[in-house]
Amino acid sequence: MRLKDKVAIVTGGAHGIGRAISEIFAEEGAAVFIADLDANAGEALAAELRHKGHEATLLRADVSAATDVTQVVERAAQKNGRIDVLCNNAAYIGQWHNSVEATEEEWQKCLSVTLLGTQYFTKEVLQYMVRQKQGSIINISSIQGMVGGRNSAAYTTVKSGLLGFTRSVDYDFGPDNIRVNAICPGAITTRISPQPGTELYQRQISKTFLGRVGKPREVAQAALFLASDESSYITGAVLPVDGGWTAM
């Protein structure tokens, strides 16, 4: 029960990596608030976790809408007046386009969901974390925030931006005992992953030392460590969960 009695918000927490993080946080004792646009999937997950005896609540939200974000954080804080953990997982991938092909709409959505959504949530939870002199913020970036990726100009740019954002917030609020770290997943099996046997799937496998793609739970384990007091002296870190991809 490494997160016992903690209040945690997971954005984009209904699917994929976000779902795995919501699950493991709840299993480890946190009161988890799942912020997601997909109300059906989010409520189904929350109900499943409650059925298992955990504490989970769906709060439907568009992370790119500042008013939605404020409402989510205020609702979560009603639990006990605290926000202990924020995991900024929500992102917009869109289509895979290079700089010539990417539309203004794609750029705007990547920026508003991935970067501004992270800013909105971080700004709102900081008022609680500063007051309580404690908190952990985990930003889910990508290995494409660390190394290049083909046909992904907008996505790669915002994921790189998350690393700069992580370090900046950490620098400013470290003295308040607020830890801010980033996780950079590599190839992970989710609903939008390339199918086995495809060229992209084989390329992903060839890029890892372990010779396989990862599982959402393997990213969630890293998030759990960074959320817990076990990582009390770790902040400003960028942690690849990529099977060795970025070590090549």
Q: Which residues are catalytic?
A: 155
Q: How far apart are CA 149 and CA 160, in angstroms?
A: 11
Strand order in the sheet with 31-36: 55-60, 31-36, 7-11, 85-88, 135-140, 178-185, 238-241
DSSP string, 182-215: EEEE-SB--TTSPPTTSHHHHHHHHT-TTSS-B-
Helical ranges in 81-215 per DSSP H = 104-110, 117-132, 153-173, 199-206
Q: How far apart are CA 235 and CA 226, in angstroms?
A: 9
Under DSSP, is residue 49 helix (H, G, I), strand (E, B) or coil? helix
